[in-house]
């Protein structure tokens, strides 16, 4: 196998240029769905795609597709891609490596004179992060049909603005029910991503290939207590929404720790209170809870335990409870043929490779419902992600792009 000429300096320059498109000053990267920074980032990717003479289109929720036509237009394309939206206080590599890295792989293949038989397509997914609506992987959920268009239309952000408002702001056209893809419309999907964990770095392995992706579940908890003056409201009379929420957050930790599975993790990532004054008893609390596992049974048992604890806490404290399961997804088993193809490519390139479970979930979780799918992981320093100090070296990224490029070439032939 002749190695592809991956230009890691050009790719790093593009990563740095995109990182500068942010709602917060460097080194922080923040790009929330259809914010001004997100829209500028999308245009950055469109322009790079056009420079490669790719055919660019977008669907009704803003998923972007950049296609390299193949010699045979009648066969299913091979797809790759990721996302570029970023949570507040994030870094520059999450998702971005899989978008800009895919474009660099396309460029290297073109420069090598490669002509695909199957079309190759980059997908840049809308809102992989849950920042705007509390629901992750919005674009890929709609592509897979796991989120009905009718339900998507009811999503609202914390200011009450719905998805249609933000779609209009983002320049999206068409109806949401047009987004869903047909089963097996792609011959395969491969996503390049930083690991977001420490295993590859600790074991000094340059490439991971994902066999299974953990199952996420998200709870929204809305608590209504009784507010009052912090000095005048005596302790026996209190129905404190914050304290009820605090007990529920601790119940999340206990459910995850005691599940019996080493892969169960629970996080209360959002906890807001009102009125938020030091001399006022909180009358309202709002929590968003993330529970996930690679095993459906233990994840669902942990969810049920948290829900039971929430009901008990609120009954005991005299606090009103509204609890909603925003999403409860199944784990994905990645395609064995794709996994073995990537392992074979690594062998030909002289790169060691580790079969892995992804405990973070990604758009591949939902693309696996559309077509055969898997992921390529590269190391990231200290396993750190979703922070400004998130980092993968140019050489690590180059290895990942090389494996992706050669894998796409094999699949496209």
pLDDT of residue 101: 98
Q: Within 13 Å, how many C-alpha atoms sit on residue 203's CB side? A: 15
Contacts of 355 (CB under 8 A, 6+ apart): 208, 209, 211, 339, 343
Q: How far apart are CA 111 and CA 101, in angstroms?
A: 15
pLDDT of residue 215: 84
| 8 A C-beta contact, residue 333 and residue 365 | no
pLDDT of residue 230: 97
Cis peptide preceding 275, ω within 30 of 0: yes
- In the structure encoding, which two tokens stand for residue 106, read together? 């396309």
Sign of the Cα pseudo-torsion (142, 148, 154, 158, in order): negative
Q: How far apart are CA 380 and CA 392, in angstroms?
A: 5
pLDDT in tens, 236-273: 999 999 999 999 999 999 999 999 999 999 999 999 99
Q: How far is residue 371 from each of residues 78, 84, 134, 238, measured CA to CA in Å? A: 10, 22, 26, 54
* SS3 at position 179: coil
Over the chain (413 residues), what is each successive 10-residue block's mean pLDDT? Answer: 93 98 98 98 98 98 98 97 98 98 98 98 98 96 97 95 97 97 98 98 98 94 98 97 98 98 95 98 98 94 98 98 95 97 98 96 97 98 98 98 98 97
- Hey, which bits of 275-384 come out as E strands? 280-281, 284-293, 320-328, 332-333, 353-358, 373-378
| 8 A C-beta contact, residue 198 and residue 252 | no
Residue with tokens 């929420």: 245
Q: How far apart are CA 239 and CA 329, in angstroms?
A: 34
Q: How far apart are CA 156 and CA 160, in angstroms?
A: 5
- In the structure encoding, which two tokens stand for residue 240, read together? 């404190």
pLDDT of residue 1: 74
Q: How far apart are CA 142 and CA 160, in angstroms?
A: 21
Q: How far apart are CA 325 and CA 264, in angstroms?
A: 18
- Whole-model pTM over 0.85: yes
Determine the Cα angle at 283 with ends 281 and 284, to 5°.
130
Radius of gyration, alpha carbons of the chain: 22
Q: How far apart are CA 178 and CA 38, in angstroms?
A: 23
The DSSP call for residue 360 is S
N-to-C CA span, the chain:
15
């Amino acid at each position: 196998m002749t190695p592809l000429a991956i230009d890691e300096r050009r790719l790093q320059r593009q990563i740095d240029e995109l990182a500068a498109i942010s709602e917060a000053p460097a080194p922080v990267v923040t790009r929330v769905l259809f914010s001004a920074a997100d829209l500028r980032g999308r245009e950055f990717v469109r322009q790079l795609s056009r420079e490669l003479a790719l055919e660019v289109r977008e669907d009704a929720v803003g998923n972007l597709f950049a296609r390299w036509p193949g010699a045979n237009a009648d066969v299913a394309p091979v797809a790759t891609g990721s996302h570029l939206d970023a949570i507040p206080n994030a870094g520059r590599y999450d998702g971005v490596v899989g978008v800009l890295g895919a474009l660099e792989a396309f460029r290297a293949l073109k420069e090598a004179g490669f002509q695909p038989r199957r079309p190759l397509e980059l997908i840049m997914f809308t809102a992989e992060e849950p920042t705007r609506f509390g629901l992750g992987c919005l674009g890929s959920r709609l592509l897979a049909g796991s989120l009905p268009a009718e339900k998507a239309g009811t999503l609202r952000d914390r200011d009450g603005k719905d998805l249609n408002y933000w779609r209009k702001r983002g320049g999206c056209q068409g109806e949401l029910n047009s987004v869903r893809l047909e089963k097996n419309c792609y011959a395969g999907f491969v996503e390049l991503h930083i690991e977001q964990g420490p295993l590859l770095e600790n074991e000094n392995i340059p490439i991971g290939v994902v066999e299974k992706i953990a199952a996420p579940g998200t709870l929204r908890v809305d608590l209504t207590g009784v507010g009052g003056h912090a000095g005048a409201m005596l302790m026996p009379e209190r129905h404190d929404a914050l304290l009820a929420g605090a007990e529920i957050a601790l119940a999340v930790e206990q459910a995850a720790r005691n599940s019996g599975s080493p892969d169960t993790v629970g996080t209360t990532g959002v906890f807001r209170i009102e009125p938020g004054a030091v001399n006022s008893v909180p009358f309202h609390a709002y929590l968003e809870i993330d529970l996930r596992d690679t095993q459906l049974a233990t994840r669902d048992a942990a969810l049920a335990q948290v829900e039971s604890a929430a009901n008990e806490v609120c009954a005991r404290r005299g606090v009103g409870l509204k609890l909603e399961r925003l999403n409860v997804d199944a784990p994905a088993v990645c395609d064995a043929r794709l996994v073995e193809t990537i392992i074979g490519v690594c062998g030909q390139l002289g790169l060691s490779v580790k079969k892995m479970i992804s405990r973070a979930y990604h758009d591949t979780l939902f693309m696996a419902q559309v077509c055969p799918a898997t992921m390529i992981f590269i190391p990231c320093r200290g396993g750190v992600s979703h922070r400004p100090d998130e980092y993968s070296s140019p050489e690590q990224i180059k290895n990942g792009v090389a494996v992706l490029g050669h894998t796409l070439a094999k699949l496209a032939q």
